[in-house]
Amino acid sequence: MSSQEVAILNVGGSKFTTWVSTLRRFPESRLARMLNGNDHEFRLVNGQFFVDRDGTLFNYILDFLRTLQLSLPTDFSDYQRLQREADFYELHSLADLLSQENLLKPRPEILEVRFLLQETQAFFRVFGSCSNTIEVLAGRVIMFTEQSLRQNWNNNPFPSQKLLTPLPLERPSHHDLVFQCGTDYSADDQLVTRYVSIKPDDRKLINGTNVLGLLVDTLLKEGFHLVSTRTVSTEEKVECYSFERMKRPEALFLTANQSPESTGGAQMKLTPMHKQK
């Protein structure tokens, strides 16, 4: 069959359509030999290659052939069965990948929120074990300061208007984020008011307790779980909220010095690509 042709497979009753070139991605595999009629496990029935194997797991097999990436759902647990299928199709690179449990095992991501309430101000510092999570959160948290637009009373009898100007967040490192809300007085005795908004919520909140509640809700919606609360500093009453969520690699992709289709002996490298939220 030509690599430009389309092949139809019936795997345990589930039908799949793909390019012949995809099935020949690994020339030494049984799927590649199937196309030449050299494997008795695969039978051509009504123009379709039939094989009595698990069709659900073949979805992941075919996706791997198409992308050279292994992408599994977060609740996936049939690693041994999928490895068995990879062994059956003689996709040794995939089977080796599935045998590396340390790459596939979910890992905890830790995030800590420190909250300090001082009279009319509230201070927040967020630490995260994953810098990308902090980066994403920094893009969602917006801090505003309120400024007065002074107007000539003779020309405009209405009181001065308020203008909200975005303020940059503090980033002491790639793993933490600092912001605040509330009111304070500047060095020249001017009232400074700061608001916080957390996307996609459009509210601009000035009350620290309200901001804390919105931040906690945001983290819970992102899959974090509150695991503990404690007071870090009894003098300043810094409250610490610890969150955790389990993360597995989003994909494990295969790289090669040469295309696996061009040579059966290309040296492969399996690399984890972790999902960042």
Q: Which residue did the predictor score with more confidence, 100 or 123?
A: 123
Q: What is the pLDDT of residue 260?
A: 52
Query: Could you give the CA distance from residue 179 to residue 146 in angstroms, rounded to a whole number?
Result: 15
The whole domain housing 170 covers 109-149+163-246
Q: What is the mean pLDDT of residues 193-220?
A: 96
In this structure, the answer to whether residues 142 and 70 fall within a common structural domain is no
The answer on pLDDT for 103 being more than 50 is: yes
Q: What is the pLDDT of residue 124?
A: 97
What's the rounded mean pLDDT across residues 62-82?
Answer: 86
Cα torsion 170, 172, 177, 183 to 10°: value is -40
What is the predicted pLDDT for the residue at 254? 61
Q: How do beta strands 14-19 and 48-51 pair?
A: unpaired
Considering the domain architecture, whether residues 50 and 125 belong to the same structural domain is answered as no
Shared domain for 39 and 141, answered yes or no, is no
Residue 30 lies in a domain: yes
Show the tokens assigned to 276.
């960042």
Q: 200 vs 75, 122, 155, 214, CA distance in Å? A: 27, 21, 39, 11
Phi, psi at residue 136, to the nearest 5°? Answer: -65, -45
Are 114 and 241 in a shared domain? yes
Kindly state whether residue 156 falls inside one of the protein's structural domains.
no
**Strand order from edge to edge, sheet including 69-70:** 69-70, 249-256, 268-274
| Res. 264: pLDDT tops 50 | no
State residue 85's pLDDT score.
Answer: 96
d(CA 203, CA 148): 20
% of the chain surpassing 70 pLDDT: 79
In this model, does residue 262 exceed pLDDT 50?
A: no
Bridge partners (DSSP) listed for residue 9: 16, 49
Q: b vs e for 201-233, b when ≥16 Cβ sit within 10 Å of the residue's Cβ?
A: eeebbbebeebbebbbebbeeeebeeeeeeeee
Query: Which of the four pLDDT bands, split at 50, 70 and 90, describes residue 159?
Result: low
In a domain, 114, yes or no: yes
Residues 22, 65: contact at Cβ < 8 Å? Answer: yes
Q: What is the pLDDT of residue 14?
A: 95
pLDDT of residue 258: 39
- On whether both 229 and 128 belong to a single domain, the answer is yes
Examine the domain organization and report whether 84 and 136 are in the same domain.
Answer: no
Q: Please indicate, yes or no, if residue 155 is contained in any of the structural domains.
A: no
State the pLDDT at residue 107: 81
Is 29 part of any domain? Answer: yes
pLDDT tens column, 3-50: 568 999 999 999 999 999 999 999 999 999 999 887 888 988 888 999
Neighbours of 107 (CB within 10 A): 12
Distances (CA, A) of 211 to 117, 133, 221: 11, 19, 15
Separation of alpha carbons 60 and 97, rounded Å: 13
d(CA 132, CA 135): 5
Same domain, 89 and 133: no
Residues 13 and 70 in one domain: yes
Taking only the tens place, the pLDDT of each residue in 166-195 is 999 999 999 999 999 999 887 777 888 999
Does residue 53 sit in the same domain as residue 117? Answer: no
Q: Domain holding 54: CATH number?
A: 3.30.710.10
CA dist., res. 163 & res. 167, Å (int): 12
The per-residue pLDDT for 232 is 84
Percent of the chain with pLDDT over 90: 57
Tell me what the mean pLDDT of segment 61-68 comes to: 93
Residue 128, pLDDT score: 95
Is residue 85 in some structural domain? yes
Alpha-carbon span 212 to 116, nearest angstrom: 10
SS3 state of residue 203: coil
Lowest mean pLDDT among 94-103, 115-124, 142-151: 142-151
Contact 180, 123 (CB under 8 A): yes
Residue 252 lies in a domain: no
Phi and psi angles of residue 83, each rounded to the nearest 5 degrees, phi first: -65, -40
Residues 239 and 141 grouped into a single domain: yes
100 pLDDT more than 80: no
3-state secondary structure of 221: helix
Of 55-59, 103-107, 174-178, 261-265, the one with minimum mean pLDDT is: 261-265
Query: pTM of the predicted model, to two decimals?
Result: 0.60
Higher pLDDT, residue 258 or 25: 25
**Domain shared by 59 and 123, yes or no:** no
- Residues 73, 94, single domain; the answer is yes
Classify residue 34: in a domain, yes or no: yes
Structural domains counted in the chain: 2
CA–CA dist 41, 185 (Å, integer):
80
Position 114: which residue type?
A: R
* H or E element, residue 27: none
